[in-house]
Structure 1
Amino acid sequence: MKVRSLGKMTSTLGLWIIVLLLLFGYTAESSAHGPSSSALAQEQAHLHSLNFNVATNVSVQVDTKIVFSCYTYSVKNLLMAVWEILHRDKITCVMAYRSDKNETKETNCSNERITWESRPDWNFTLQIHHVTIEDDGYYTCVIATPEGNFQYVHQLNVLVPPEIALFTDGNGTAVCEASVGKPAAQISWVPEGYCFSVNETHGNRTVTVKSICHWNGLNETKVTCFISHLTGNKSLSIELLPSCPNHSTSLSLNIGLCVVLSLITVMGLILIGKSICYRICKSQKPRSTPNINMKEEELYVNYMKSVHCENESKN
């Protein structure tokens, strides 16, 4: 499948270069004659006889910068340098430089992040600023000279680091998640438990991996999740809440807990009842009223004493 795709790209590239030559208005010139149609035909034959070889497979992390080199040796009598950029489900972009007029042209190229690294008359290096997933694809450089054509291909694979998370459900189970990574992350556990994984592929070719592990009956209190990825490896640890015991132990504990709670409830109700009764009885107890007759008698006695004292003082 890959060979067929590369072969198709080769034919497309040759056609694009011919079109660009016509757009540039290029005509081969000999030393003693004017334009030579045989020279142009020879050049076209060279273009169709290019050997297509993938020179490099390049992996780069998203949001970084990448530089693609072209022919590294000195080029004599350069006619044209062409970059063909083939992305997934997009029209091929062609960037070309003609040396005799020191002129550049682009066809179907709308991505402003992809540019020549410097002036094409100095070198033919291509650069991409802030790489995105959409930049995945083939970047082919062709140098056309009277002696022949030289081709270099770079296959770009953009890497996306996953977002990681680790949590537990409090029942001896932990979930480790590596979200929207490219390619899919690999997840392992220490200590090992009873685990299974679920992968979800998204429309932008990123993958979310979720690993779910159980340690019921293994008496583990702390577990570690290891995430392996081409952008770097990470690990997260978490404390497990007490796991569920076996069925018989759980039943005994539940019965004992119910008995204790029942006793506490009964005692609480008894105390509350006694407190309510005490308050009711206290509120209903008759209050003592002052003895009105006693007070009147005391007042009379005091009055008589005062009268007697007053009479004695007059005598």
Structure 2
Amino acid sequence: MKAGTNMKISGKIMYVFVLLTITMVMRLAGLVMTVGNSSVLTCPLKGNMTLLKWTITPKAGGPCTLVYRVDTNVTHRTNCSDNINWTFRAGLPPALEIRQVGIAQEGNYSCEMATTEGNFHKMYHLTVLAPPRLSLSCDEQGSPVCEAAAGKPPAQLSWLPGSSSTAEEKCHDNGTVTVLSKFTACSTNVTNVTTCMVSHPAGNWSQSIACCPSENTSTNIFLYACIITCILIIITLLAVIYYFKLHSDRPCHRTKPPEIAPIHSQQDDTVEVEPYTTYVQKENVIYNSVSDLTVGQNLPQDCVQEHE
């Protein structure tokens, strides 16, 4: 019993969900445009129109409103760009024209109409596609590089022949994305001609190029070898110059001459001793003279000493 009740409840929920989904699809119409294209949006008419209003809510920037009154035949616009305006056609209500759409116009467009039979409403969601700019080139190693610049949404890149490379994405402020992919061969037995294929909701493109990895690689190796050799030669020359400069600027250590003892000549000793010798000789002479005199005169020695 409970299982049957649960089944009924689930069925009602699914029914309500489907109705809401159908209602949203009917009220919200999807509109896809490519950058640079033009389009005209209309609002359903039932009875005689008295007032028509468009409200635009872009993803970036403030809302824009356009109002048309039938009784006064007056239009009014607020904060709308120049490429959005009214277009009048005979027997039809005014429509909204978007000329050369840009990414800034992406958003919701709501139409409100007042008629003798009531008020009607319709909404569009505008999606703007920006096709990428494709470029294919060879890098310094001679590998093909494919770039899909400023695409919205991001482009899908693939290679022919197959490649194991992964794409890199770079987002921009305006909502576009640049995709970059470098070719990496799955095997060595591949031709020099490679093709980059771009898949995008705005279209598909492809471009081919021939690169020479072997020649470029050998050239780069030779260049690197030359640069390294030159650097080593310069370092060696600088080391030799520094070595010679270091030894040439070293100060000479002069040996101190041995101290020479002063030489005293024999003449100096004679000069120094001579006064004493002369004095002794004089004393001896005097002594001898006195002795001779004493002996000659038979004088006592004491007298001689007193006399001295």
TM-score bracket, shorter-length normalisation: 0.5 to 0.7
1:95 aligns with 66
Where structure 1 has 5 or more consecutive residues not aligned to the other structure, the ranges are 1-50, 245-249, 255-315
The total of aligned residue pairs comes to 197
Return the letter of the residue paired with 1:191. P
Q: In structure 2, how many angstroms separate the alpha carbons of the residues matched to 1:120 and 1:97?
A: 16
| Structure 1 residue 214: Cα displacement | 1.3
Amino acid in the other structure paired with 1:58: L
2:38 to 28, 51, 65: 65
Show CA shifts across 1:186-211 (max 9, x none).
10111112211100110000100001
Q: Which amino acid aligns with 1:201?
A: C
Give, in whole Å, the separation in 1 of the partners of 2:199 and 2:187: 28
- Pairwise CA distance, 1:184: 0.8
Distance across 2 between alignment mates of 1:141 and 1:121:
19
Question: 2:211 corresponds to which residue?
Answer: 240
What SS does structure 1 have at the residue aligned with 2:72? coil
For 1:148, the equivalent position in structure 2 comes to 118
Pick the aligned partner of 2:49 from 66, 71, 78: 78
* Structure 1 SS opposite 2:104: helix
* Deviation per residue, 1:153-193 (Å, 9 max, x gap): 11111111111111223646221100011111110111112
1:126 aligns with 2:96: yes
Aligned match of 2:168 = 198
Question: Contact between 1:217 and 1:243, CA under 8 Å: does it hold in 2?
Answer: no
Alignment-derived partner of residue 173 in structure 1: 143
**Unpaired segments ≥5 residues, structure 2:** 1-22, 223-308
1:110 and 1:171 mapped to 2: Cα distance? Answer: 51
Q: Deviations 1:12-71 (Å, cap 9, x if unpaired)?
A: xxxxxxxxxxxxxxxxxxxxxxxxxxxxxxxxxxxxxxx875432111111221111111
Contact between 1:166 and 1:176, CA under 8 Å: does it hold in 2? yes
**Identity fraction in percent:** 36
Summarize the Cα distance change of 1:217–1:55 in structure 2 as closer, same or farther, 3 Å threshold.
closer
- Normalising by structure 1, we get a TM-score of 0.56
Q: Which has the larger radius of gyration?
A: 2
- Shift in Å at residue 219 of structure 1? 2.2
Alpha-carbon distance, 1:229 to partner: 1.3
Change (3 A) 1:242 1:211: closer
| TM-score, scaled to structure 2 | 0.57
One-letter code aligned to 1:70: C
Paired letter, 1:82: K
Matched, 1:223 2:229: no
Structure 1 residues 121, 105: CA separation in 2 closer, same or farther (over 3 Å shift)? farther
Question: Is residue 69–residue 125 contact of structure 1 (8 Å, CA) maintained in 2?
Answer: yes
- 1:264-294 CA-to-partner distances (Å, cap 9, x unmatched) read xxxxxxxxxxxxxxxxxxxxxxxxxxxxxxx
Q: Is the 8 A contact 1:136 1:156 kept in 2?
A: yes
Could you tell me which residue of structure 2 aligns to residue 311 of structure 1?
Answer: none
